[in-house]
Amino acid sequence: MANEKRTPKNPLMAGTTGKTLAEMVAEVTSDNVDELSVKKTKNAGTFKSFKENLDNYTGVKGQGLAIWVPAEVKKQVEMLCAKAKTNVPIRAMAAAMIMTFIEEHRRELNNL
């Protein structure tokens, strides 16, 4: 037994494992790798939903209704619109944010 060659325990030292470094780190730091992929997918779906809502509310005609928000919230939305690659109206951005949140958290909101 003393003469047996030791095999490395580190997957990076063992050769190609067919996994990315991120997946290997996730295995070490998380109990379940599938949880991480679900979270990533959920966030991707949320942003996709936001983009769809943004498209739906961009170019909507009419006056709409007023919702009072703190000045800091309005400034943050204005900054996001200013940094956007395309011309995004503030009211479309705000409507998309609100509707995406409502769609994603409807159950929790109904239980308030």
The CA distances from residue 19 to 25, 38, 46, 62, in Å, are: 10, 17, 26, 52
Burial class from Cβ neighbours inside 10 Å (0-12, 13-18, 19+) for residue 8 reads exposed
Residue 72, classed as helix, strand or coil, is helix
For residues 64 and 33, the model is more confident at 64
pLDDT tens-place string over residues 48-86: 999 999 999 999 988 889 999 999 999 999 999 999 888
